[in-house]
Chain A
Amino acid sequence: MKKCEEISGQIWPFLLQEIDPLQVGAVEGHLQECVSCKKEYEGAVQLLSQLNAVSQPEPSELFFARQANQIQQKIQNEKSDWFHFNPRWRPALAAAAVLAVFWVGGSLFQSLQYSTPTSVSDQANREKINPPSQINIERLNAEQLNQITEQLEKIVFQKLPVIEFFGDSGDVDDLNDQELDHLIQDLETTEFRRNS
């Protein structure tokens, strides 16, 4: 019985000559012996002959000539379009387009990220992650020290309160008593403002 099931699956490949040549003998032998499988085979032959007889409209040569012409025309139209210029360029153009999109997208993302105002906590976190680099002063030469001093002065003076009056020379030693009193008063007021 199992043999019949196996052969049943081989009948169409056998009929269409797509069977493993080593199995041809086995199928032929079984068909000679088994009435049921022989009947199935004959049915398959009949169906195949009917299928082969199923006709369909046969167009004229003119139809195919016109069709080929239309295809050619459409291809010519595409060729005149710069993008469809040559099929060989299409993958390259597509890859270039993808790269361009990523590049523009990446640039936009980067600029948006840096232009976004950050909160105080974000900034603090960032400083924790990337602490300011430490400088070993002992290893610096005179010129480097001068540069750092200048920069530090700038930073310090930017943060110090601006004193409107500081005398003509700008030196505290040249101030008279009245000017000194005025300066002390100014400093006290500023300090008071800072504390408050």
Chain B
Amino acid sequence: MFEAESILPFVRVTPNMTSLNSISSISSHEDREEIEAVLAGDTSAFDRLVKKYQRKIYYLALRMLGNTEDADEVTQKTFLKGYRALAGFRFEASFKTWLTTIAINLCRTELSRRRYPQEEISEHIPDLSGEEKRGEEEEHEHRLAHLKEVLETLPARQKEVVVLRIFHDMPFKEIAEALKSNETAVKVNFHHAMKGLRERIQKRLHHEKM
């Protein structure tokens, strides 16, 4: 029998929506003081904001771009652009969400500059059937590496939603704000992304068995 208790241990330990929202509002309230100090000419206040959010932005860019150098560059550009546009920040969203929007846009620019052939990649399933048998640990690593590759094959918007929700720990509502979309569209994109990932993984497993 499938008991509710058997579900709960699997549930990922994340703060619930209420606590996420309250954290966000506290954070934006704290940031307001820093932002106003920056606007008054105190650049050290901006340095504090950089130190507070640089890791989040860096890891987001790294997930999106898969390259440490580009992630570093995008992180720096995000903060510079944020500094220049700070006077236009209206506190409608949290500062973190606002920075995330800038970072996502810069990642999109970088990805379009690279001109990834998305259509070709989306159907590409690495052929690993000929490789020798690995140990359990190797197999695990291999699966994760494959998952990483499969993530890259997702359509751009779906990948953005997955990265923001899973790796960036952003609630759907904030993702919608960051991507200038609505919550339902974000959830639909996420659902399709997960469905796509599972299908690709199953296809790969089937491919390996043959």
CB neighbours of B46 from chain A (8 A)? 72, 75
Q: Does B39 contact A (CB under 8 A)?
A: yes
Distance to closest chain A CB from B186 (angstroms): 10
Give B191-210 as 1s and 0s: 1 = Cβ < 8 Å from A's Cβ atoms. Answer: 10010011001000000000
| Cβ-closest chain A residue relative to B1 | A32
Stretch binding the partner chain, chosen from B22-30, B68-76, B102-110? B68-76
> A64 vs B62: C-alpha distance in the bound complex, in angstroms?
14
The answer on a CB contact under 8 Å between A12 and B4 is no
The answer on a CB contact under 8 Å between A87 and B7 is no
> A91 vs B89: C-alpha distance in the bound complex, in angstroms?
12
The answer on a CB contact under 8 Å between B68 and A68 is no
The answer on a CB contact under 8 Å between B144 and A71 is no
The answer on a CB contact under 8 Å between B2 and A31 is yes
The answer on a CB contact under 8 Å between B50 and A17 is no
Neighbour of A52 across the interface among B62, B80, B166, B171, CB < 8 A = B166
| Cβ-closest chain A residue relative to B35 | A87
Q: Does A22 contact B (CB under 8 A)?
A: no
Counting residue pairs across A and B whose Cβ atoms lie within 8 Å, the total is 120
Q: Does A45 contact B (CB under 8 A)?
A: yes
Given A28-B7, A75-B80; A12-B43 close (CB under 8 Å): no
> A45 vs B190: C-alpha distance in the bound complex, in angstroms?
15
Stretch binding the partner chain, chosen from B10-18, B119-127, B131-139? B10-18
The answer on a CB contact under 8 Å between B38 and A87 is yes
CB neighbours of B194 from chain A (8 A)? 12, 44, 47
Q: Does B157 contact A (CB under 8 A)?
A: no
Q: Does A146 contact B (CB under 8 A)?
A: no
The answer on a CB contact under 8 Å between B166 and A50 is no
**19 new A-B contacts at CB < 8 Å, known A57-B68, A59-B58, A71-B47:** A9-B191, A12-B187, A15-B10, A15-B11, A16-B165, A17-B11, A28-B4, A47-B197, A50-B144, A51-B167, A52-B166, A54-B144, A57-B62, A67-B58, A68-B54, A72-B50, A87-B87, A90-B84, A90-B87
Residues of A at under 8 Å CB distance from B? 9, 12-13, 15-18, 28, 31-32, 38, 41-45, 47-48, 50-57, 59, 64, 67-68, 70-72, 74-76, 78-79, 84, 86-91
Residues of B at under 8 Å CB distance from A? 1-4, 7, 10-12, 14-17, 38-41, 43, 46-47, 50-51, 54-55, 58-59, 62-63, 68, 72, 75-76, 79-80, 83-88, 143-144, 147-148, 151, 162, 165-167, 171-172, 187, 190-191, 194, 197-198, 201
